[in-house]
Amino acid sequence: MKVLLCNISKKYETSVHDYVGLFYLAGALEAAGFEPLVFHGKPDNLLEEIQKNQPAAVGFSCDFDNVQLIAGLAKTIKEAWNIPIIVGGPQSIGLKKKFLEDSRVDYVLKGEGEVSLPRLLKVILKGEGDISSINGLAFIKAGVFIETEPPEIIEDIDSLPLPAYHSSLHTNHSYGKLIFTGRGCPYQCAYCAPSPGKQRVRLRSIPLVLAEIKRNLKNNPDLNYIIIMDDTFTINRQRMEEFCQGMKEIKQQRDIVWYCECHVGGIKNWMDILPVMIDAGLVRLQIGIESGDQQVIDLYNKHVKIGDIIEFISYAAGCGLTQIATNFIVGGPAEQEGATAELIKTLMDKAPGVIDIITGFLRAYPGTQIVENPEKFNLQLYDEAGRLSGDDYPFVTPTGRSQDQVMRDRQELNKVIRQSMQNKIKRHELNQAAMMKQFHAALTYGIRSRWFEEISANQRAYEYYYALYLKEGQAFDAALDFSRDYPQRTFELWRTMTFAGGFPQLDGVAVSPLEYELLLRCAGKRNLADIETELYARFGAPYKNQAEFHGKLVDILYQFNFNYWLTHFMI
């Protein structure tokens, strides 16, 4: 029997992602004797696939963003094909009788579905077993809303089948980028959805994890970036060392890098594992900060100190980690004024070109402490059904603060982030090695940080760093050798130089005759000594001697380099 598993969205381009959770479910269904089909994409395309494949049942992965979309789509499917519809996923714990009535969805299945979904399908499609024995199930019978026992927790996750990527309906899509090495999280952050089994950590064996990665690499020749989805991947040092050793061996055969999340409070006592991780291919590490106010962090129950965060980020950047990603929550409990902005500036100073900061509104996920007890956090909830709000509009605010004010708060915080980055770029305060890693991550693996985006938006800086990345030039330093250094413009003169005011201008800056003639000669064809001799003969009269002129020329060259106008190479 065909069973169609779906993740749909109009907001995101779902076809570019893996949705590995659906494929783990597909593997379990296949092992149970069903024929799973996996779809991820736009709703209109889904209806076409249902008409084409005629599945016996349809299952949806539901989250805060697509819950209303699923509700409407389920009614259409029910009217056209009248087949069983099952909804699971992170939002399922918040779906009650009204959702089932409005959407005509038959069943809501909560928790991990690799065991419960095959059982449910055997009952409703084959008449095998008793529906009341399936844990984590909600449905309506004779007008009565029924919920069975809490979901079953899968203890031995090594026993689960590997993702059945071959069940995808997207034949032109390659998979394997996403992977889970464990389930659960020992922390209980107030804003994090407490899905069934969340607080019970269960880890896969590292040999099995590495075997899955090798299988994915074999099936996807273009795969060069692995995203580890675990909440607490770095929970155990010995396990991390075992994983890193395995990845180093894989890297000998294949150029592969990876991403993971990390809880600073858990790793702070053995940060020296970071160089090992970087050597094994770690290119991007995400940590949660959420606020610059320690009282708010404590209220979130994050079990981390701001001082430890600063120390960790400084250490990680010093170790040569390419990207450190983090997020700050806007719209949470009232903060000490300016605390988050000041922490952002501090982190920019500690890890320029490395720290990658975004912001997001606080989300009211079902079952969280914030939803269950907003008064504890002095918060006000809006639109709990999610009909109006998304990440573009807040649905939680501090009491007494409007949604429009919270939107402005986020705009101001993003302005702080961007201005801090632009100032670092403008003042030439970025470490060259760090920027080369950003270019390598973006151009080799497609991992584009905000730093790379900001550099790309600054044409002169991009051309400068791109020339350095291609090794077509190098930055000026104190050891200029005029006899061997050949200066090279980073731009095409005819595209950038203007004479609108009757004199040469570059990037809105007036260029003196000496500077203009120097730029003309910085074409990578002559060394600085020859250029100096020629320019001294023409412009040297006002100077006491050639040594003084030489000092002036060096100052100009450094200013050109500071403006991203010039690199040089040595012969």
CATH number at residue 284: 3.20.20.70
In sequence order, what E strands does 368-458 have? 379-381, 396-398
Packing angle, helices 43-53 and 67-81, rounded to 10: 30
Instruction: Looking at the structure, tell me whether residues 385 and 528 fall in a common domain.
Output: no
Question: Which tops the pLDDT comparison, 382 or 203?
Answer: 203
Exposed (0-12), middle (13-18) or buried (19+): which is 406, by Cβ within 10 Å? buried
List Cα–Cα distances, 272 to 310, 322, 370, 433, in angstroms.
15, 16, 35, 21
Q: What pLDDT was estimated at residue 387?
A: 58
Spatial separation of the C-alpha atoms in residues 108 and 94, rounded to whole Å: 10
Average pLDDT in the 506-514 region?
93
Whether residue 16 has pLDDT greater than 60: no
Spatial separation of the C-alpha atoms in residues 447 and 244, rounded to whole Å: 20
- CATH code, domain carrying 117: 3.40.50.280
Host H or E run for residue 284: strand 282-290
Whether residue 389 has pLDDT greater than 60: no
Instruction: Looking at the structure, tell me whether residues 203 and 108 fall in a common domain.
Output: no
Instruction: Looking at the structure, tell me whether residues 91 and 51 fall in a common domain.
Output: yes
Instruction: Looking at the structure, tell me whether residues 140 and 223 fall in a common domain.
Output: no
Residue 423 lies in a domain: no
Residue 87: pLDDT band by 50, 70, 90 thresholds?
A: very high
Q: What pLDDT was estimated at residue 64?
A: 79
Residue 164 lies in a domain: no
Residue 436 lies in a domain: no
Exposed (0-12), middle (13-18) or buried (19+): which is 400, by Cβ within 10 Å? exposed
Q: Which residues fall within 8 angstroms of residue 251, CB to CB, at 6 or more apart?
A: 280, 281
Residue 561: pLDDT band by 50, 70, 90 thresholds?
A: very high
Q: What pLDDT was estimated at residue 526?
A: 94
Each residue of 207-250: pLDDT tens digit?
999 999 999 999 999 999 999 999 879 999 999 999 999 999 99
Q: What pLDDT was estimated at residue 173?
A: 87
Share of the chain above pLDDT 70, in %: 97
Average pLDDT in the 115-123 region?
96
Whether residue 101 has pLDDT greater than 70: yes
Whether residue 399 has pLDDT greater than 90: yes
Average pLDDT in the 281-288 region?
96
In the listed set 105, 128, 147, which residue is the last one of a domain according to the structure?
147
How many other C-beta atoms are found inside a 10 Å radius of the C-beta of residue 117?
26
Instruction: Looking at the structure, tell me whether residues 128 and 181 fall in a common domain.
Output: no
In sequence order, what E strands does 405-513 have? 485-489, 497-498, 505-506, 509-510
CB-based contact 354:284 (threshold 8 Å): no
In the listed set 381, 409, 437, which residue is the last one of a domain according to the structure?
409
Tokens of 199: 């607080």
Question: Which tops the pLDDT comparison, 17 or 20?
Answer: 20
Q: Which residue has the tokens 């500690």?
A: 350
CA-nearest of 198, 93, 78 to 137 is: 93
Secondary structure class of 15 (helix, strand, coil): helix
Whether residue 427 has pLDDT greater than 60: yes
Residue 433 lies in a domain: no
The domain of 20 spans 2-147
Tokens of 412: 């101001």
Instruction: Looking at the structure, tell me whether residues 280 and 327 fall in a common domain.
Output: yes
Residue 465 lies in a domain: no
Host H or E run for residue 404: helix 403-426
Tokens of 356: 């990658």
Residue 41: pLDDT band by 50, 70, 90 thresholds?
A: confident
Instruction: Looking at the structure, tell me whether residues 339 and 196 fall in a common domain.
Output: yes
In the listed set 378, 409, 440, which residue is the last one of a domain according to the structure?
409
Residue 60 lies in a domain: yes
Strands 202-203 and 182-183: antiparallel
Q: What pLDDT was estimated at residue 395?
A: 87
DSSP state letters, 501-545: TSS-EETTEE--HHHHHHHHH-BSSS-HHHHHHHHHHHH-TTSSS
Instruction: Looking at the structure, tell me whether residues 231 and 332 fall in a common domain.
Output: yes
Instruction: Looking at the structure, tell me whether residues 262 and 361 fall in a common domain.
Output: yes
Packing angle, helices 403-426 and 450-457, rounded to 10: 70
In sequence order, the β-bridge partners of residue 2 are 35
Each residue of 437-487: pLDDT tens digit?
999 999 999 999 999 999 999 999 999 999 999 999 898 877 788 889 999
Residue 455 lies in a domain: no
Tokens of 318: 């010093």
Spatial separation of the C-alpha atoms in residues 370 and 381, rounded to whole Å: 9
DSSP conformational letter for 387: S
The amino acid occupying position 304 is V
Instruction: Looking at the structure, tell me whether residues 133 and 180 fall in a common domain.
Output: no
Average pLDDT in the 2-11 region?
89
Whether residue 385 has pLDDT greater than 70: no
Each residue of 331-375: pLDDT tens digit?
999 999 999 999 999 999 999 999 999 999 998 888 889 988 999
DSSP state letters, 184-227: --S---TTS---TTTTS-EE--HHHHHHHHHHHHHH-TT--EEE
Instruction: Looking at the structure, tell me whether residues 198 and 137 fall in a common domain.
Output: no
Instruction: Looking at the structure, tell me whether residues 251 and 109 fall in a common domain.
Output: no
Residue 130 lies in a domain: yes
Q: What pLDDT was estimated at residue 552?
A: 96
Question: Which tops the pLDDT comparison, 570 or 515?
Answer: 515
- Domain count of the chain? 3
Mean per-residue pLDDT of the chain: 93
